[in-house]
Amino acid sequence: MNMRLVTIYANGRIMLPAEIRRRLNIKAGDSLAFFISQDDEIILRRACWRTYNF
C-alpha cells in the first residue's frame, strides 16, 4: 500500500497527486465516492453505477 499526504485547502478542496490520478484514471470532471470505514479510514473510489449498488 502506498501512502501520500495531501493538503485540504480553505475552501475544502483536496489536491490528489498526479500519481494517484494516473493510477485510478481520474480525469477532470470525474465523480469520486468517499467511504469511511469503522476504523475511520477514508476509502476513495471512482464513482460508477456499481459504487452505489452495494
Residues linked to residue 45 through DSSP beta bridges, in sequence order: 33
The pTM score is 0.63
pLDDT band, residue 4 (cuts 50/70/90): confident
pLDDT band, residue 8 (cuts 50/70/90): very high
Averaged pLDDT, 5-12: 91
Structural domains of the chain, ranges and CATH numbers in brackets: 1-54 (2.10.260.10)
Give me 41's grid cell.
479510514
Taking a C-beta distance cutoff of 8 angstroms, is the pair 44, 33 a contact? Answer: yes
Q: What type of residue is 42?
A: I
**Is 53 or 11 the better-scoring residue by pLDDT?**
11
pLDDT in tens, 19-52: 889 988 899 988 888 899 999 998 888 887 655 5
Strands (DSSP E) found in the chain: 32-36, 42-46
